[in-house]
Amino acid sequence: MRGRLSASGAVLVYGAGALILLFIMAPLLVVVSLSFSAAPFAVFPPRGFTLEWFGRVIADEEFQHAFIVSVSLAVAATAASFALGMPAAYALNRWKVPGAQVMEAILLSPQIFPILITGLALLQFMARAGLRDAEMNLFIGHVLITLPYLVRTITASLKLVDRSLEEAALTLGASPWRVFWLVTVPQIIPGIAAGCLFSFMISFDDFPISLWLADAQTVPLPIFLHSSMSRIFDPSIAAMSTLMILTGVLAVIGLEKLVGLRRAMGI
């Protein structure tokens, strides 16, 4: 059922697409353009062109620290979520686990609860339990919110794997362990990559969990950005935002280079 778009239909589709794109991109373009503004205050439209704000931000030790905190937090949380989520998704899909549906629902539940409330609950729990290591607390919190993304994407790709491929490998003499590594994993790598990208971005961008669990020494980038903004609103905020956007774009490009974005997103 693939027809060709009529000329007027094409105008409509591309026109609507352009409008939606503008709606999504316009605020980001404002921020990015401001980060190059020569004016001392963040006002739109930007005046002049300078890279001074980027220089200042990158030279700022507090920013450097927050950036490193956020990137390492996102990498660690993603790695841990993958280590937990991959076997969980596999077991729930391939083995007869009593109460599998309930367990899957529990694994995905952090996505359903308001993250702000989850963060508050975590804070209270950790205070009660005497856990005062902010790095560790942030790590635990971020694993909690990134795990559902990995479980979900890996589950979705496992469901798409043709089971007869695994069965064929078994009949050819591959042990279940080798079937997993030689046949199953190559089929779900795009899903794993997409899940890791989501997870990284969710953690890197997270505000509501970090808001509760950060302390004075361990400040992730979104928290740092927010507190800087309440002090002063100059184009350096825009420059930080642009750097955050850039990190996301680089992650997407990296994924594209690694496995191909279209494959990773299942399109």
Residues near another protein (CB under 8 A) are 162, 164-165, 167-176, 178-179, 182-183, 186-187
CB of 166 to another protein, least distance (A): 9
Token couple for 74: 């996102």
Closer by beta carbon to another protein, 126 or else 179: 179
8 A C-beta contact, residue 62 and residue 124: no
CB of 69 to another protein, least distance (A): 38
Give the 3-state secondary structure of residue 178. Answer: helix
Give the nearest distance from C-beta 253 to another protein in angstroms: 23
Q: How far apart are CA 131 and CA 121, in angstroms?
A: 13
Rank residues 15 and 99 by Cβ distance to another protein and give the closer one. Answer: 99
Residue (165 or 265) nearer to another protein, CB? 165
Of 132 and 178, nearer to another protein (C-beta) is 178
**Number of Cβ atoms within 10 Å of the Cβ of 203:** 28
Where residue 48 falls (left for φ over 0; alpha for ψ -120 to 50; beta otherwise) is left
CB of 161 to another protein, least distance (A): 10
Q: How many angstroms separate the CA atoms of 254 and 197, rounded?
A: 10
Neighbour-count burial of 96, counting CB atoms closer than 10 A to its CB (0-12 exposed, 13-18 middle, 19+ buried): exposed
Nearest distance in Å: CB 186, another protein: 4
- Quick one: 10 or 168, whose CB is closer to another protein? 168
